[in-house]
Structures are given as structure tokens and as C-alpha cells.
Chain A
Amino acid sequence: MSPSVPLQEMIRAIRSARTQCEERGVIQRECAAIRAQFRQADNGGRSHNLAKLLYVHMLGYPAHFGQMECVRMIASPRYSEKRVGYLGAMMLLDEKQDASLLITNSIKNDLSHSNQYVQSLALCTLACMGSAEMCRDLAPEIDRLLRASNSYIKKKAALCAVHIVRKVHELGELFAPAARTLLTEKNHGVLHGAVVLIIELCERNPETLERFRKTVPDLVQIMKGLVLSGYSPEHDVAGISDPFLQVRILRLLRILGHNNEGASDAMNDLLAQVATNTDSTKTVGNAVLYETVLTVLDIKSESGLRVLAVNILGRFLLNNDRNIRYIAMTSLQKIVGTDHNAVQRHRGTIVDCLKDQDASVKRRALELSLALVSATNVRSMMKELLIFLSSCPQELKSHAASGIFNAAERYAPSQRWHIDTILHVLTTAGGDVRDETVPNLIQLITNASELHCYTVHKLYRALLLDISTQSLVQVACWCIGEYGDLLLRGECQETEPVQVTEDDVLDALETVLQSHMSSPATRGFALTATMKLSTRITDNVDRIRSVVSIYGSCIDVELQQRAVEYNALFKKYDHMRAAVLERMPVIEKNSPGHTNGESMGEVKENQASKKPTEPKLLPQPANQVCDLLGLLGGSEETLQPSPSTALGLLTNTPSTAGGNLLDLLGDLEPEPLTPAPLVPVYDKDGVALTLSCEKQSDTAMTVTLIASNSTDSDISSFTLQAAVPKSVKLNMNAPSGDFLPARGAAKVTQMVVLNYQNKVNLKMKIRISYSSRGSTFQDTVQIDTFPGL
């Protein structure tokens, strides 16, 4: 190969630079020289300059000033300059640059050049960076080349046509007939290009797919020729005749035979032949076999063939070569949905692959294992998966954890096992679990009422060992707060008894409160738990009081607020303390995304369903809204925060007062449309809330709240809570959603029904809470006047 001397010298100079700084200096000098030369008129060394520029570009330095030079070089009559010019165009230009339009004409001329290599350059560039307009312009040229040229050009034109079809879908029709005729070519390169083109056409357009089904016999013929023919030295790769073409044709057969009986029948023989005749000792043979297996499993093949295919995959799984095992697992993943039992047979091998050193193999094995968990094998699989979790690489941990949770939820044989499994995951990989784990686990625990004692003992022990895993600590704090009395009682059937004194428990919670490792949310959990214990323990109430009052001046606003409220609970509302802090009722599970559009017509107001909100809202609503009402002088009976369901305190709300309420709700229109005026009541930080009212009767009114988000980031977990004075009855219907996309793309609407005796006292306080950009916000607004009243 003749060296390009100036390029070589520059490369040598760059390589001899010893530091990054020196290299930058050399390159800057060279680039300046190149720029100067570009500005000059034509000199013999233009191609060298552009080659130098491309080298510099590869190293990462800016090279955009070469774009016009590329255009000029492409237009030059000399082959060497054209060559570098086209290479430069492919590296530096793309359809977004204006300069790319300028080369359209050159490409057009070069496509009809007498020299086939110039034609091939043009085809290559068009296939790499042709924009939609260029493709439309030049498509007829490509079609002409597909029909009448030598095989070298034909194969390039075929791939260029694929690119055109990808850019401009409608042009697929133009190329279909030419593609059909190309299948009769003998040259393997052209055949390969034709098959790729047909695959692309069939994938885009189902009618074309129908038309090309007729070519299945021809394709089968070609394959037979390849598989059964004797040794042909020019196409041979390790004993297999043109494996690349075989693989391509098999893929096309797969697309043509999918969901079609006739085509699948025509292929059955051939596939059986390929599967049995191909030599699987080399990688190439395995490539063909693998493609055959995928095809067999994807078309409507006969059952014997399917069994053969799965057996081949099983053999692959036991192969020593890790590559083969990897692809075997990839293909098993694809069929685990349909041929579940067949894959189950190989469960042992797959689980063994979990222990392989290779990270890619581990990942595949993990996905497949998670897909194979079923009700019968859940205990043993879970054991294996938990062992895997403790030693798996970091990037797989959260995926593994969430997979285990899903599997546990679906197939848990007993509640105790379920709780144990989740606790195990939290202790091994607690830092990598998702946020919903904490409320889900809490909900699970409250549901398993007979296991409360066992759970709280286990969690307490885990807390003593390690307080760094936030999710575990949060759950532990919550449980200790709730079931502290069970913990202190000491005996528990399911686990060894341990004597826990009140001081120990309070010490543990205080450690969490004071530790640097605890996040603000965790400390909130701990503070509330401490507070709850004040009703469950007998001796150390003063200690609790002092803790609570210390945090009344904490810097963290959330903690401070809580502490102040709890203080108030001790001082002014001590008579209510026991009622407020009693056991939480069982939380009803609601699957996320269930927005309850249908609850508009529901009568029982307590059924406003729970949404997956931030965990700290769940144990807190009684306490927080209590304070909301403290300002309005109301009692807890009239509050109804929208996310929570049956708070035990609300059982005496007017669902029993039946009669007129039912009628009123029956009258409600489902649409929140109001002819009444929309009044903005809150606008801060890009979140705006507007209100409109509609009187239903003299004593009832529907208030519609519409929230919108004009910031640049999305808002999630948007919730509204409302409180009204004692004389007014409030019923909140489910909101339309809790997600506000950025820039006002959608709004959230919520309807509230108010029943009152006299209008004088009608006020409403609304608390807005949401999370945006990873942090939570809360705000309150008071509405004193209602429009339309």
C-alpha cells in the first residue's frame, strides 16, 4: 500500500508528543496549516490535507472547517480526491448540516459515472448519510442500478435501497419488483443484499409481506443449494458454505413464516435438514443452528421440529463456550412465555449460570430465572436468587431486588415467608430497592396481623445491627412505633424471646434520630415512632416528651413541624392523644396506576382510593391534618385527606347519614365542566390552582379544583388535602391523576362536594403537596370566598 507521506509525518509528529498539552499544540499547528491550505487554490496535496483532518477528527478535535473542502473534493474529477472527499463527507457531514445538500448533485452525477468505483463511492455515501430529500431525489437512479449493472454495483445498490426505505417509507413500493428479480442472481453478495432489502420491505409493509410469501419456494431452493452442495472454496468459512447468507435467508424465512401455515409448511423440511446437517463444533455452525432454532420457534412449525429446536438450545446451554451459553439463554428468554414447560426442564443449568463469573452470562441467567419462578418452585428458586443477590455485581442489584419482590408478591406460599424474604432483601441490598418498597412492605405487615409480634422482633434486631439501610430503618421504625407494646411484652411464639426494656427501644430510636446516616425521611419516621410509643409504654413518657420538645427547634423544617405538633398534642390536646395515636387500621392495597375514574359515581365516600403517595403521608395524616384544623377550630371528624382511606377516626363520617347525601351524589355530573367562573386561588413556583363552584342546592356545592404546572419539569405525586370548619361536611372525589407534565401539557382535576347549613361559615383550607425534580414541596392556601355563591 503506498503510504500517504504527509499524513504519515503528521501522525508521527503527534505520536512523538509526550504530553497531552504537547499533542494539542502539534494538532493546533497542523490544523492551522490545513486551514491555510484549504483557502488556497488547487494544489496537488489536497487529499492529504483532508486525510490529515480526518485523523485529527478521530482523535476528538474539532474538524468542522473541513466540511466545505469535502464538498469541493467530491466534485473533483480525480479519483483519489473523490475518495477522500466522500470519506470526509461520511465522517463529518450528516443530514443536519447544510453542506450535505450541496453534495446531492455530485452524488447524482457520480451514480452514472463510467467508472464503477466512483459509482460505488456515491452509493456508499448515500447509504451512510443520505437525508430524506436526497433519497427521494435519487431513488429512481438506485432502482435503475438495481436492475442493470454489474454485480458489484448491484449489491451496493441493494443496501442503498434499504437505507432509502428506512428514511422514506413510501419508496418501498418502488423497490419491491427489483428486489424480487434480484433473488435469481447467482452472486452471493447480490443475494445477500437482496435478502436484506426484502427483510426491510416486509417489516415495513404487511402487503409487501404477503406478496413476498410467494418467494418462499425459491428461498428454500437457495438454502438447499447452500446446505447440500459440496465444498465450494470461495464461499467456505470453516466448512460451512456461506454461513452469512444462510443466516440471512433463515431470518427472512422466519419473517415470512410467522403466523402463516402455508409458508411454515413449506419450510419444515428444510429447517429439519439444516438443523441435523450443520456441524456444530465450530462457531459458524452454531450461528446457523442458532438462527434455525429461532426460526423454528417463531413460525408455526410442527411439534417434532419444536422439540428438536428446544433440545438444540439445551445442548447449547451445556456447551463450554460462554458465548454459546449466552445466546442460548437469550433465545430461551424469548420463548419462556410460550413454551414455559420446555424451558423449565433446563432450570437447573440456568440457576447454575447464576454463579458464573461472567457478568453478561449472570445478567441473562438472572432474567431467565426470574421468568421461571412459578408457584411450585418458588421456595427453591428464591433461595438461589437470594444467594445470588448477596454476591451479584452492583449494576444488577436493583434489577434483582425488584424482580425478587415481584416474584415474591405473586407466588408467596405464606405471609411469613413473604415478610422474611423482603426483610432478607432489605438487609442485603436495601440501598438498591425502589421507593415503593417501604409503603408496600408496611401495607403487607399490617395485613398479616398474626405476625405483628414476630415481625417487630425481627425488625428490632435488624435495627440494632445496622442503621445504614434507609428503607429497612424506615420500616423498622414504623413497626416499632406501631407494635411497640408487643415488642416490650417479650414473648413471641415464632422467635426466641428476648427481653427488651423501654429504654432499649427508645435508645434505638434515638440513635436513628441522631445518626448522620439517617435521611430526613427516616428521621421523620423515627420521631413519629417515638411519639406513638408514648401511648404504648408506661414509664418513660417524660423521656419522650423531652425528645419531642428538643426537636421543636430542629433545623429541618419537617422534623420541627412534627415536633411542634406532637408537643401540642402533649400539652393542649392530651385528652386526644390516645385516640390519635392508636393502632392504624389495615391499609387497603391498590395497584398503582389505578386511577378510579369510576369512583365518581360511588357513594361510599371512604372509598376514595389510596394512591401510592410518599410513605410519610401514610402514618401521618391524622396528626398533620389535625393541626390544619387546629387553626380552623375544627375536629377531626370533618377532615378527609384525599389519599388515605379508612382512617379509623373517620368511621363516624356521614356515610351513615345516607339519604340526602346519596341523592346529591347522584346528581353530580361526571364532567368537571362548570359554566361558573374559574378563579385562581394559588399560584407559586409554576404550580397554579384554580377553583370554580357550582351550587347544587341551598346546602350543597360542588367545588372543582384544577391544577396546572407551568414549570419546565414534570410534577408527580400531586395531592390535595382539604379541610373545612366543623359545620361543613366535605367529600372529596378521586382526582383525575397525580401527574402534572411540564409546561401545562395536562391538568389535574379534582371535585369536592361541600354540604353546609349556612353559608357564613364556609371556608376551606387546601394543602398542596407534590414532588418535582426529586424533592417534595408542600404548601397550604386558604379559601375564604367561593365564587358563584
Chain B
Amino acid sequence: MIKSILIFNNHGKPRLIRFYQYFAEDMQQQIIRETFHLVSKRDDNVCNFLEGGSLIGGSDHKLIYRHYATLYFVFCVDSSESELGILDLIQVFVETLDKCFENVCELDLIFHMDKVHYILQEVVMGGMVLETNMNDIVAQVELQTRMEKSEGGLSAAPARAVSAVKNMNLPEMPRNINIGDINIKVPSLSPF
């Protein structure tokens, strides 16, 4: 079981935190700090497995991490997960992010934190690996985003306006528009 997934940058600022086991808020922040402390000390050519810190679970738990440019992706797992498998899973997750965001960078993760959560939800659910096929994941995320967009809301107002115009039935409008004395005869227009 995956106990938690943490993404933070080279200075320890959290970019995404997801705990699959309940911890109080201050405990969560302490875990993030401790994990950052452990992971940032590591060289780049050492192995990607760390025996976990004492806060998050003790002897049975490992931290499996990968360092990409400015970000650390850390998965805290227990012994029921294959270590190399999780390492590949991190790779799959990052490649999925890349496909969804087009050349993902740290700023994308910062400003679209909720989207990253939704993508993660398609990969890992309840601490267990759900789907590892990148194309499936991307397709599902696309469909869901489309659903959200179609519902509208304030941000979709321009889209609504366009569709409203498209739905306007112009031939229904009166031919004579009375604007005072001037009598303008409106020619009959062909329907759009």
C-alpha cells in the first residue's frame, strides 16, 4: 500500500501532498519537512530507496523517490509494494503529467494543483495502484475535463455567449423594426 505521495521542490516547498492514511495537519507538515530533509541530502548517483523516517511509519516503510530537475517525487510505501514497480510508476505518472500539460514544468504543478490531483486520482486510488496505461489515463482525464467545461460556470461565459448566438433563430425576428418615424423595411434574409 502506498502511504503517501509527496511532490516538493529543491527548497522543500510542497507542490502536491496526498496522504492515504490519516495524519493531523501539523503532523503532515512535519512529515514533509522530515522527508525533504532525508531526500535532499542524497547524491544523484545513489539508489532511489530510503529507509523511511520514523514519523511516517517506521521500519516497514520505505521512501522511493525520483528527482527530476527541480522537483522531488516521493512515494512512501510499505513492504507489500514492489520497489522497482513503484519506481516505474513514478515514471508513468510524470509522463502522464507531461502529456496532459504539454511539456510540464514546476509552474504547471503550482498553478494547476487541482488538475494534478485529478490526474493522480486516475493513477493511484486509496493507496493502491489503479491504472498504469498512460493512454487510458490521459483519455479519461480529457473526458472529465470536457465534462467540467461543458457545465459552464463563470469561466465559461464567453463559450456560453458563442453558443447562445449560434442558437439564435434570426428569421423569427420581426421584419419591421419600429424606430420612430423612420420606417425601414428589413429585407428577408436567408436563415443562417
Contact = CB atoms under 8 A, between A and B. Distances in A.
Interface of A: 1-5, 7-8, 11, 15, 44-45, 47, 51, 54-55, 57-60, 62-63, 78-80, 83-84, 87, 91, 94-96, 115, 117, 123-124, 127-129, 152, 155-156, 159-160, 162-163, 188-189, 192-193, 196, 234-235, 237, 242-245, 247, 251, 283-284, 286-287, 290-291, 321-323, 325-327, 330, 357-361, 363
A234 B132 CA distance: 10
B47 A54 contact: no
Nearest to B86: A287
Interface in B51-82: 51, 82
8 contacts: A7-B113, A47-B153, A51-B113, A55-B113, A58-B113, A156-B130, A251-B82, A361-B46
B29 interface: yes
Interface stretch (B142-150, B162-170, B171-179, B184-192): B142-150
B47 to A, nearest CB: 4
A94 B117 contact: no
Interface in B126-141: 126-133, 135-136, 140
Given A189-B133, A290-B82, A45 B154 contact: yes
A8 B144 contact: no
B82 A291 contact: yes
B114 A128 contact: no
B125 interface: yes
Nearest to A12: B111
Given A1-B100, A117-B147, A322-B46, A196 B22 contact: no
Interface residues of B, number: 59
Nearest to A78: B151
Chain B interface mostly helix, strand, loop or mixed?
Answer: helix
Given A44-B153, A58-B113, A80-B153, A237 B130 contact: no
Nearest to B110: A11
B131 A155 contact: yes
A485 B75 CA distance: 62
A321 B148 CA distance: 44
Contacts of A96: 22
A1 B115 contact: yes
B7 to A, nearest CB: 10
Given A60-B29, A363-B51, A159 B126 contact: yes
Given A54-B114, A124-B125, A323-B47, A4 B82 contact: no
Nearest to B157: A44
A394 to B, nearest CB: 12
A307 B97 CA distance: 42
A123 B112 CA distance: 23
A188 to B, nearest CB: 7
Contacts of A15: 110
A244 B129 contact: yes
B139 to A, nearest CB: 10
Nearest to B88: A284
Scoring B29, B88, B110 by chain A CB atoms within 10 A of each residue's CB, the highest score goes to: B88
A322 B45 contact: yes
Given A54-B114, A87-B114, A235-B133, A283 B87 contact: yes
Interface string B14-33: 10111010100110110000
B40 to A, nearest CB: 13
Nearest to B118: A83
Contacts of B101: 1
A4 B22 contact: no
B46 A243 contact: no
B50 interface: yes
A193 B125 CA distance: 11
Contact of A359 (B46, B84, B125, B136): B46
Nearest to A44: B154
A11 B46 contact: no
B145 A159 contact: no
Given A58-B113, A326-B49, A237 B151 contact: no
Nearest to B84: A287
A50 B118 CA distance: 15
A234 B83 CA distance: 23
A62, A123, A322: residue with the most chain B Cβ atoms closer than 10 Å: A322
Contacts of B43: 357-358
Given A58-B113, A160-B125, 15 more contacts: A1-B100, A4-B155, A45-B153, A83-B144, A117-B147, A123-B125, A124-B121, A124-B126, A127-B128, A128-B126, A244-B89, A287-B84, A327-B49, A359-B46, A360-B49
B114 A7 contact: yes
B9 interface: no
B42 to A, nearest CB: 8
Contacts of A84: 114
Contacts of A196: 128-129
Contacts of B18: 91
Given A8-B111, A51-B114, A357-B43, A155 B147 contact: no
A58 B118 contact: no
